[in-house]
Amino acid sequence: MLKKNHSITLDKFIDYCLYDKKNGYYMIKNPFGVKGDFVTAPNISRLYSEMIAIWAISFWESLGCPRKFNLIELGAGNGEMMKVMIESFKKFPSFLNNCNIIIHEKSPKLIMIQKKKIQYKKIKWIKNFKNLNKFPNIFLANEFFDAIPIKQYIKEGNHWYERLIKIFNKKNLNFDKRKVNIENLKKKVHFNIFDKQNFIEYSPLGIKYFKEIIKIINNHQGGLLIIDYGYYDRKFKNTLKAIYNKKHSNFLDNIGKSDITYNINYYLFDKFVNNYKNLTKNYTTQKKFLTNLGIFHRAEILGKNKSFTEKADIFYRVKRLTDENHMGNLFKVMLIKNSNIKSLVGFQN
């Protein structure tokens, strides 16, 4: 609940707006696709999901084709990506028969939508990773981390302040701030990201997820593939934004009716991986990743014997995914894996 004449931290406010059981954006509606507020890559072209399927099969082969392994999608949206991936996996029965397909999803509304769309019996939904068996794991995080609430800290003079939201009533909100002890904050983050900064934006819950996943990978083999819009820069930026009716809107308006998101700082993830001697990371853009996986070649095959209009539509959609003025450069791809896994599929120079 949002209490009148009360201030709450930014991450708690975002969590209410997105995940409150009665009013949360992701809990009461389906924001994905043509009728939603935004269209994710799997909903632009099925070729995107096919490329992720190809990458997953290739990565499994680099693991030595284990007889049992987990493929875990983090936040599956409307289920489109996993639906197409499973269709692709059916052409590779040795992969599909050995694969435990798992979806981690917080929203009961989206779980219902996913179950209706995917219609595959051998699939499991989980709320946490505690009951994962000790098989190798392949985690897929397609626009997952950007939907996790963030905190913001601002430096003024020699003092740091945490950004708050002051609630007078549900239609009257303002930004507020409170002084914080930066030393206590440094202990929570476990390494110093505050030197030479005057602004910090990060997700404590996102970092918790990330650390939990890379610990699982470190202990049981596998990898985490992150595809999200973001930047690789030590200097933090204010990237918080809201989307309402397909347009950017005022962050403090339309509570529970707007998507709230931010750009991932991959530098932060990179620093955490450095704590593990047996893990390594690869990094590229979505354009290079999809191109390396053969999306243009696949588009040519799909376009054979199609009408000019149909073929133009296929390549228009691929362009949206790969063009540097669209998603090609804005979206970054990061892979964290065990150092003994040599696969560079998708990450060739």
Mean pLDDT by 10 residues, the chain (349 residues): 78 90 78 64 94 97 95 95 97 96 92 92 91 90 95 92 87 87 77 80 93 94 96 92 82 84 93 91 96 95 90 93 91 96 88
pLDDT at 31: 62
Return phi, psi of residue 11, to 5°: -65, -35
Return phi, psi of residue 133, to 5°: -75, 180
Helix (H) or strand (E) holding 174: strand 172-180
CA–CA gap between residue 47 and residue 321 (Å, rounded): 10
In a domain, 181, yes or no: no
CATH of the domain at 110: 3.40.50.12710
pLDDT at 269: 92
In single-letter form, the type of residue at position 275 comes to: N
Range of the structural domain that residue 46 is part of:
23-140+205-338
Whether the CB-CB separation of 273 and 281 falls below 8 Å is answered with yes
In a domain, 12, yes or no: no
In a domain, 159, yes or no: no
Whether the CB-CB separation of 335 and 224 falls below 8 Å is answered with yes
In a domain, 9, yes or no: no
In a domain, 104, yes or no: yes
- Decide: pTM greater than 0.75: yes
What total of structural domains would you count in the chain? 1
Tokens standing for residue 2: 């949002």
In a domain, 127, yes or no: yes
In a domain, 227, yes or no: yes
In a domain, 103, yes or no: yes
pLDDT at 29: 67
